[in-house]
Structure 1
Amino acid sequence: MSSQFRTNLTRTALGAAGAAALGIGYASGIERNAFALREVTMPVLAPGSSSLRVLHLSDLHMMPNQRLKQNWLRELEGLDPDLVVNTGDNLSHQRSVPAVVQALGDLLARPGLFVFGSNDYFAPKPKNPLSYIFNKDKRITGDPLPWGDLRAAFTERGWLDMTHVRRELEVAGIRIAAAGVDDPHLKRDRYDTVAGTPNPVAQLKLGLTHSPEPRVLDRFADDGYDLVLAGHTHGGQLCLPFYGALVTNCQIDRSRVKGPSKWGAHTQLHVSAGIGTSPWAPARFCCRPEATLLTLVPATRREPEHVSAHSSAESPASVLRN
């Protein structure tokens, strides 16, 4: 091997190591705190209904000292949503409940629905990220978290716990028939407790689940729900340009890892890319942390193939428009 070849090989290795270090630094130090708001319009309401603005939050994974995240969440009240839906994984620490409640602030005074995820019940633990690819069925959970305190804080302020219950409510003149299940990622879902056709008079039939597992989505679709909201995937969290998510951390395909899609003939699905990360994997790449403002509008008689698109614009919450 010539000395010039060894020199070139060394330079290439150093360059690759430097690029990797820059990528890790960007993913952990910049993008995971580059919070964004995605705006999506979805035609799911009964014909003749007025529109409904729904703020979809998921996967806060809050630590007590995460001030940037907490301050950004407080700004979302300025969006003036009609309804807030939280699809779980709010906690990452035993002392996170006050931080979550304070960060949500005045949003807790608005109509709200919630279900919990695995990281409301149990603290995250360090794990090999390749386990999501090669050992998808293995579940590693940490110490119990104070989910009961969080539930009490939410319900005392008027939000409705949708865990294995069906409820009807009216928000901004829209009659909603809603149902939810406990976290399918931990196999805590018991869909039979909420099974059945929702009230056909309702202008919106809404399903809630933390992890968008197909077995649960199929049941919601079979029962005739218009829209199902979920989280859990983090949008893939570490994605590649022009390829997207490497994994979904559940059984849905990569094309549905975040944002809106159809599930079955008549049901729309929205999966939130989430706002946080596990403290043991504090990085995002090509997948900014986000909340979503859904504008629900009446569906036309001809079933749309996809949701409408909007151009990009910046706001105090840094908007991504789908």
Structure 2
Amino acid sequence: MKKRALFAGALAVPAAAGIWGAVIEPHLFAVRRHTLPILPAGAQSIRMLHVSDLHLAPWQKHRAAWVKALTRLEPDVVINTGDNLSADIVPTVLDVFDGLLDVPGVFVLGSNDFFSPKAKNPASYLRSPSEVKHRTQPDLDVKALIRGFEARDETVSFTSTGDTPSSTRGWRFLDNAEATLMIRGTRIDFCGLGDSHIDRDRIQPSDGQGRGPDAFDYPRFDSEAGVKVGVTHAPYSRTLEAFTSAGADLIMTGHTHGGQIRVPFWGAPVTNCDLDRTRARGLFPYRKSLVEISAGLGFSPFSPVRFACRPEVSLLTLVPGV
């Protein structure tokens, strides 16, 4: 009898953990908050909303509704670091972000904005980063996603001289591109790189003449900017090195899902890139910069579990340095 009870208990624990990770925790959405003293002296505080890895599927109504209500946080600027799709449902994703498109923002794309996820053995993530093999033509409507996020004519651009964008809607596309926004009187220079997980980043090292051996022609920042922010989807070490060498104050990324399945009191087993597993989410210093990695909101439909890793967005409050 005692052995049967022990056996039943041994089965009950993983069963309960499985139910929690598959049914309950994926709906326990959280707002991770950080205060960063990186603004110039005397500047007004800025609320920066970071959204990543939505991975939305048509049946995920609760996740869609929660994200749609994020306007309640009243951000001053929005940063979207990609992987919005899990199926070809661009109109649904644009509807989810509709209210936030009224807020100035920037965005980069992740691999799942180009390519739909494919079934694979989840254990393969423990051996090495996932791969998008032999797929060169997107099977998702990424062009419609870009147009929808920009939500403006190509001839309209954000002003760099005032607090109000010249277009009242839309975000700036930052894959291997730059943008400047004036937010509450502070000039923020954004510099983006494409998703290094699928080799879409376009890092251009300098020839070193007069700029030092670690300088880059791209990414780059204007020295006159009040705050310099690097944005990319996946935090591979080469992108972090390029941004911090260019002088980024803050680097914002996603991709890792925070490990997605974390071991209590130990952390994430993997990051799905070459970054150390202890840096799968959150805020940490990286040489001269701060790095903020969002654990994101979703997962692949073929790995529909989160455990000890609640789905999240980040709300960063930028304040003057001390």
Same fold (TM over 0.5): yes
The answer (yes or no) to whether the contact 1:114–1:159 under 8 Å persists in 2 is: yes
Match of 1:288 in 2: 310
Match of 1:303 in 2: none
Which among 174, 189, 198 is matched to residue 201 of structure 2?
Answer: 189
Match of 2:110 in 1: 117
Structure 2 letter corresponding to 1:146? D
Separation in 2, partners of 1:89, 1:45: 29
1:136 aligns with 2:129: yes
1:235-274 aligned at under 5 Å gives the runs: 235-264=258-287, 266-274=288-296
Aligned-residue offset at 1:115:
0.1
Separation in 1, partners of 2:109, 2:7: 45
Aligned-residue offset at 1:174:
1.3
CA RMSD of aligned residues (A): 1.8
Residues 40 and 207 (structure 1 numbering): CA distance in 2 closer, same or farther, change over 3 Å? same
Match of 1:213 in 2: 236
The answer (yes or no) to whether the contact 1:165–1:194 under 8 Å persists in 2 is: no
Separation in 2, partners of 1:132, 1:262: 26
Structure 1 letter corresponding to 2:317? T
Structure 1 letter corresponding to 2:194? D
TM normalised by structure 1 equals 0.86
1:82-121 aligned at under 5 Å gives the runs: 82-94=76-88, 96-121=89-114
3-state secondary structure, aligned to 2:98: helix
The answer (yes or no) to whether the contact 1:45–1:226 under 8 Å persists in 2 is: no
3-state secondary structure, aligned to 1:179: strand
Q: Which moved more, 1:185-194 or 1:14-23?
A: 185-194
Separation in 1, partners of 2:72, 2:219: 37
1:174 aligns with 2:167: no
Listed as ranges, the gaps of 5+ residues in structure 2 are: 152-168, 205-215
Match of 2:175 in 1: 163
Separation in 2, partners of 1:194, 1:237: 35
Residues 76 and 137 (structure 1 numbering): CA distance in 2 closer, same or farther, change over 3 Å? closer
1:5-154 aligned at under 5 Å gives the runs: 10-94=4-88, 96-136=89-129, 138-140=131-133, 144-154=139-149
Aligned-residue offset at 1:18:
2.0
Structure 1 letter corresponding to 2:266? Y
Aligned-residue offset at 1:173:
1.3
TM normalised by structure 2 equals 0.86
How many residues are paired up?
292
- Residues 297-321 of structure 1, C-alpha deviations (whole Å, 9 max, x = no match): 1223xxxxxxxxxxxxxxxxxxxxx
Residues 284 and 141 (structure 1 numbering): CA distance in 2 closer, same or farther, change over 3 Å? farther
Separation in 2, partners of 1:103, 1:16: 42
Separation in 2, partners of 1:9, 1:184: 52
Listed as ranges, the gaps of 5+ residues in structure 1 are: 1-6, 301-322
Match of 2:245 in 1: 222
Aligned-residue offset at 1:196:
5.3
In percent, how many aligned pairs have the same letter? 42
Residues 194 and 288 (structure 1 numbering): CA distance in 2 closer, same or farther, change over 3 Å? farther
- Residues 204-232 of structure 1, C-alpha deviations (whole Å, 9 max, x = no match): 10110000011110010001010010000
1:279 aligns with 2:301: yes
- Residues 79-98 of structure 1, C-alpha deviations (whole Å, 9 max, x = no match): 1100000000000001x212
Separation in 1, partners of 2:270, 2:220: 33
The answer (yes or no) to whether the contact 1:237–1:245 under 8 Å persists in 2 is: yes
Deviating runs (4+, > 4 A) in structure 1?
7-11, 140-143
The answer (yes or no) to whether the contact 2:177–2:192 under 8 Å persists in 1 is: yes
Separation in 2, partners of 1:150, 1:112: 15
Structure 2 letter corresponding to 1:91? L
The answer (yes or no) to whether the contact 2:55–2:83 under 8 Å persists in 1 is: yes
The answer (yes or no) to whether the contact 2:219–2:242 under 8 Å persists in 1 is: no
Q: Which moved more, 1:137-146 or 1:79-88?
A: 137-146
